[in-house]
Structure 1
Amino acid sequence: MIYSCEEHVDVAIDTVVDEYETFPQLSKISEDNKLSTACEYCQNPAIYMVANE
C-alpha cells in the first residue's frame, strides 16, 4: 500500500504494477485521514492510497 499526493499518484501506480504485476486499486483518502497521512514520495498531504488488493 502506497500513500501519494496528486502529483505522485502515477509513480505509485507504476510501482504497484511493477512489484505485483497486477492493476492496483486506487482509493481516495477520507478527509479525516488526510491531515495525518503524508505522500511517500514528497511528504505533502496524501490524497490517494494505491494498493495491490
Structure 2
Amino acid sequence: MIYSCEEHVDIAIDTVVDEYETFPQLSKISKEEELSTTCEYCQNHAVYLVANE
C-alpha cells in the first residue's frame, strides 16, 4: 500500500504495477485519515491509497 498526494499518484501507480505486475486499486481516503497521513514521496497530505489488492 502506498499513500499518495494528487501530484504523486501516477508514481505510486507505476510502483505498484512494477512490483506486483497487476493493475492497482486506487481509493480516495477519508478526510479524517487525510489529516494524519502523509504522501510517501513528499510529506504533503495524502489523498489516495494505491494498493495491489
> Above 0.5 in TM-score?
yes
Query: For the residues of structure 1 that align with 2:31 and 2:44, how far apart are their CA atoms?
Result: 15
Q: How does 1:1-53 map to 2 (within 5 A)?
A: 1-53=1-53
Identity %: 83
Secondary structure, in 3 states, of the residue corresponding to 1:10?
helix
- Alignment RMSD: 0.2
Stretches of structure 1 that go unaligned for 5 or more consecutive residues are none
Stretches of structure 2 that go unaligned for 5 or more consecutive residues are none
TM-score after normalising by structure 1: 0.99
Aligned length in residues: 53
Deviations 1:15-46 (A, max 9, x none): 00000000000000001101100000000000
